[in-house]
A and B are shown apart, each in its own frame.
Chain A
């Protein structure tokens, strides 16, 4: 949780940043600002939108749609306020924290952006961020097709393959669900950590969302058919 708390109180951060920039050579705020301006929206220079992010990715040689390291980078930088963008404030605080003020430094960051470096708590936070970042405007839920694609992208390697595979199939085949809520999204990861063995699952005592109950039911049916 501490990772995201970095950007939560912006004013104190700014103060810190300034004091440090006067003291040492480690971080050049001006350069970072300049870099931001290059990617900022034309009609709103305080915000870097998807276009800017894609451009930044191009500079870093990352595929903005397929590479999950992009999401890790945005999460580390501290995009929080609105989905699909990062504000100037967030960007500068993030750069300061990560000690990056040039594209080259961003590029050298790439190896550290692997999700494998995240411990369980960090990963949970990152996973939640993935949902929030991909929301559309004021929509609170995600389209299930997007959910399936996102899950496959970020969860591969984190949870057992067959769990991921079967859950995605399940979500795709359920006609009652067209959109997934944040609670369902985060609960699925918690559920994977908490219940490795489905035969131990007890619906009558579980607080998991009904979606999870139904997934377990779906798996039981599948077992029976076999």
Chain B
């Protein structure tokens, strides 16, 4: 080409423009857009190249014949002229005839403009490459868009936005609208931002948010008279539809904003009204187990910031009142004359099933949300620690476990036992006085183990493992020690039986060794045993001493049991009795008659022991002894003799006897607490050396997991430690303590 330059003819501006560009390109393009020509006859490659070449030539001629500036200007003028003389009048013509018509025209004109812009850019593309770049001007297509924005869009946007909003509201009301039409017009709004969403935001979205707010404010007024579930169904539907609408034809950035507006209008503003509706609010739904409605309620209010708080509060309140009902029913039963026992399975079962039910609600309907878990927990902490009657809930719960775990209690399958234990441990976790429970539980466990009334070793271990999970090793170490005593005991028993075989004894004798400290402390009355018994005991003592030289044995006769045979005339019976009962029966052998006092001397038994003992033999279900005078109370003046007329249908009989000690030792728990508090204080102070009163208090409370001491109890312990010179009050601040090493 370079060699041809000199030869090439210079194209004058007007000639090139009028004869070539305008005539062959622009006029044809406009005719095409106006529908005056068939769309099939677009520019072919040949035509296009010719026009491009003309432009190229005109832009590459040396100055003063370089027409770049002029062509750039005329490109703009062409578009502007077309928009003002053709497009605008057409659009103005369509205003006031309904949204769809206006929007359709706008879409048509916008598509046309895009075509026009595209072709013009192609024709003049050489300008883009050099002239535009050198002079930092808007590119051709930018210039075209700008022109459309200033000439057409700015004038029409008010009308079109209204038209869009009108159609959207129509759609909200269920009318069918041309979604693709709106979608293309929305695209126009998006394009008008020239790469940002500014135009869309300020010209359409803002107005849309306002009209949305207005629309749903009105809906809220209409719907609020419905029941809460009905309202919420509509609300959820509306939210889904709004979401889908954005998906269908709006910019996705609008979704959050629109939903927020809708949520504010139809949920937030009426939340309390909806939740508190008398017959269909949250409480009513809970009362009637309206699972689906509750789920929806949860779903919807979880969309709001802190929207679940009031719901959780109602939930907690509801459970509390359900719990109160259970507690009140127990109280009413007691006041109605029912005997106040430590065994009230009805009460414990109601609590368990209440808990089970609403734990299910939390999991299923409220997706296990932490707020509702906490509400459930708080409600139950309140309920479970409300003690009615003589026995604490800790004792009722422990006794309930006892029923499950001992033979002759509840008849349950293995999996039912596990399930029940699981549930009771859940209730237990809400107890404040966990140490009290542990103490009672240990006593009952000991009794089950020592009287061989525990149904299953595995279940016992399972329960202890569950408690351990909840409260740690320290909590269950004694209970585990008890079980291991028994395990060791059964190993040693066979060894000792070998030893016994070498001795000629009429008794079938065995011993269970218990480690002091693991087991409850039992009274060990020094009653006079039969010579045969004493002999066996001595053998064991020797045998044990050989095995464990440094261990001290003390005998707890009150916990022993025996099987004795009684012969009454022709019939004989096997009695399952305690060791104490056995020696009493032995004393009454061969039909002797003895006074209470004589017995007391013979057995070396105190009145407090002998009374329940003789009561069990002469006033119980099986009267193997006769008491004179007859009656249901033992007096020191009574005399006793064997009952020659005793008969029973069963050959094996268990003669129960009242326990000598109550199963609960509150004082012991109190003492343990004192020790635990002091230990915690010393532990903390040893580590911190100097600590403020408040801080010490809260750290102590943190460390004590098994009960909840009141601040005064802790203070008293602090004072005690000051008195014993473990601590001192700081000389310059009476609210601060120092640790004295």
Contacts and interface: CB of A to CB of B under 8 A. Distances in A.
Interface of A: 140, 181-184, 187, 190-191, 194, 203-210, 213
Contacts of B736: 207
B734 to A, nearest CB: 5
A214 to B, nearest CB: 9
Contacts of A213: 712, 715
B694 interface: yes
A182 B715 contact: no
A213 B711 CA distance: 11
A183 B719 contact: yes
A203 B710 CA distance: 12
Interface string B705-741: 0000001100110110011000001000011110000
A187 B716 contact: no
Interface of B: 693-694, 711-712, 715-716, 718-719, 722-723, 729, 734-737
Contact of A206 (B693, B729, B737): B693
Given A183-B729, A187-B729, A213-B712, A206 B735 contact: yes
Contacts of B735: 206-207
Contacts of B718: 207
- Describe A's contact surface by its main secondary structure: helix
Interface centre among A183, A194, A207 (most CB of B within 10 A): A207
20 contacts: A140-B723, A181-B722, A181-B723, A183-B719, A183-B722, A183-B729, A191-B734, A194-B734, A203-B711, A204-B711, A205-B694, A206-B693, A206-B735, A207-B693, A207-B715, A207-B735, A207-B737, A210-B712, A210-B715, A210-B719
A203 to B, nearest CB: 8
Given A181-B722, A204-B711, 20 more contacts: A182-B723, A183-B722, A183-B723, A183-B729, A184-B719, A187-B734, A191-B734, A194-B734, A205-B694, A207-B693, A207-B729, A207-B735, A207-B736, A207-B737, A208-B734, A209-B719, A210-B715, A210-B716, A213-B712, A213-B715
A207 B733 CA distance: 10
Given A181-B723, A183-B723, A190 B716 contact: no
A213 B694 CA distance: 15
A190 B730 CA distance: 12
Nearest to A186: B729
Contacts of A140: 723
Contacts of A190: 734
Contacts of A182: 723
Contacts of B723: 140, 181-183
A87 B708 CA distance: 50
Leading 5 A-B pairs by shortest Cβ distance:
A207-B693, A207-B735, A183-B722, A181-B723, A190-B734
B716 A207 contact: no
Nearest to B720: A181
Nearest to A213: B712
B549 to A, nearest CB: 40
Nearest to B723: A181
B482 to A, nearest CB: 38
Contacts of B693: 205-207
Nearest to B716: A210
B711 A209 contact: no
B720 to A, nearest CB: 9
A140 B734 CA distance: 21
A206 B697 CA distance: 11
Contacts of B712: 210, 213
